[in-house]
Amino acid sequence: MNTRVETIGNASPLTADAHPMIDPFGRAVTYLRVSVTDRCDFRCTYCMAENMTFLPKKDLLTLEELDRLCSAFIEKGVKKIRLTGGEPLVRKNIMYLVRQLGQRIGSGLDELTLTTNGSQLARHAEELYDCGVRRINVSLDTLDPDKFRKVTRWGDFAKVMEGIDAAQKAGIRIKLNAVALKGFNDVEMPEMVRFAHGRGMDLTVIETMPMGEIEEDRTDQYLPLSELRADLERQFTLTEIDYQTGGPARYVRVEETDGRLGFITPLTHNFCESCNRVRLTCTGTLYMCLGQNDAADLRAALRATEDDALLHTAIDEAITRKPKGHDFIIDRTHNRPAVARHMSVTGG
Ligand code: SAM
Ligand code: SF4
């Protein structure tokens, strides 16, 4: 592996052949999302079919390989890594990777975080903190245990609540993510805002994205956030704020609860121009855009030689293909997903 080090300006140390990643539109790629598994212990209706076929285990990169790939990205200027999935905490021995990457915080990496459904959080919370994780996203679409079971098919609401409690106790800040679902959680949103803000958590609502075949009709689920926002404004005063997390959410402050509420509207293009991220799957495929099918195979370069130079070249080549924006459209005539892979492949 290449260990020569030089420092460019104020930037973190880079190996001599590790140029920072700048895409054809001048955007620096500094954020890597890694789907460590496509498997999950839930089957959320908007995300997966109940009978999913998962990747054969033999196709997965090992945790050591994922660590090496992530390290290459850190050398090439990635400052933030988010582990996701599927459910990242169901991958066997995942804390090994968390600990390895945690050691890079402060030497190249600014932040290590994860997005989780919370089911396994109670038993991992303290160790996550110990490894340097300070903020996580927890997905929670409803506060009603029966509805929770319906939307996740297999999830246990009480366990997720235990997870949230444990993470907060360990000192990890939580942002809640809720997918807005028409006729399902729209009526509950004011309560969710009060719950999140009452516990010191930001809340972000996400529009459903047309990804992967599921059993439900997506056009029935789709709730434009403009509608949701108008509804909330009947009860709350929403003030635009200039809060940026480097992600696609637009934030407002809810004056009555004194907390932040984010809106992610992926079907609009309002965040593509500042997109700083790429997505790596557990098989070593790199997607340069969540809403496009183009991808680069990094596994071949990773396995070809121990020398990272080839890997760096493969990453550079992939970055030249980062598109200007996504192509999400809900194909309402045929009710087909615009992107064939499931969200659990790239992790959102
Ligand atoms: N299992 C973890 C979880 O649920 O947080 C991480 C992976 S999950 C794919 C990441 C995020 O994507 C979750 O917040 C989930 O709600 C969201 N998501 C999944 N399918 C989606 C879809 N079709 N449209 C919008 N968001 C979706
Ligand atoms: Fe699993 Fe997350 Fe998809 Fe739900 S949204 S099925 S928890 S990967």
Q: What CATH number is attached to the domain comprising 308?
A: 3.20.20.70
Given ligand 1 and candidates 115, 138, 140, which is best to mutate, with the most ligand atoms within 8 Å of its CB?
115
CA of 199 to the centre of ligand 2 (A): 23
Ligand with minimal distance to 152 CA: 2
**Cα torsion 41, 46, 50, 53: sign:** negative
For ligand 1, atom 14: residue with the closest CA: 139
Percent of the chain at pLDDT above 70? 88
Atom of ligand 2 nearest to the CA of 155: 7
Q: Which domain covers residue 269, as residue numbers? A: 5-346
* 8 A C-beta contact, residue 264 and residue 249: yes
* 8 A C-beta contact, residue 124 and residue 74: no
Residue 10 predicted with pLDDT over 50: no
pLDDT in the model for residue 208: 87
Q: CA 114, 81, 293: angle at the middle one, nearest 5?
A: 95
Position 67, amino acid: D
More confident residue, 205 or 13: 205
Residue 289 predicted with pLDDT over 80: yes
pLDDT in the model for residue 209: 81
pLDDT in the model for residue 291: 80
Average pLDDT of the residues in 158-167 = 98
pLDDT in the model for residue 1: 39
HSE-up of 295 (CA within 13 Å, CB side)? 18
pTM of structure: 0.91
* 8 A C-beta contact, residue 151 and residue 50: no
Our count of domains for the chain comes to 1
CA of 175 to the centre of ligand 1 (A): 14
CA–CA distance, 154 with 174 (Å, rounded to integer): 23
Ligand 2: which residues within 6 Å by Cβ?
40, 42-44, 47-48, 85-87, 117, 139, 344
Atom of ligand 2 nearest to the CA of 342: 3
pLDDT in the model for residue 178: 98
Band the pLDDT of 336: cuts 50, 70, 90. Answer: low
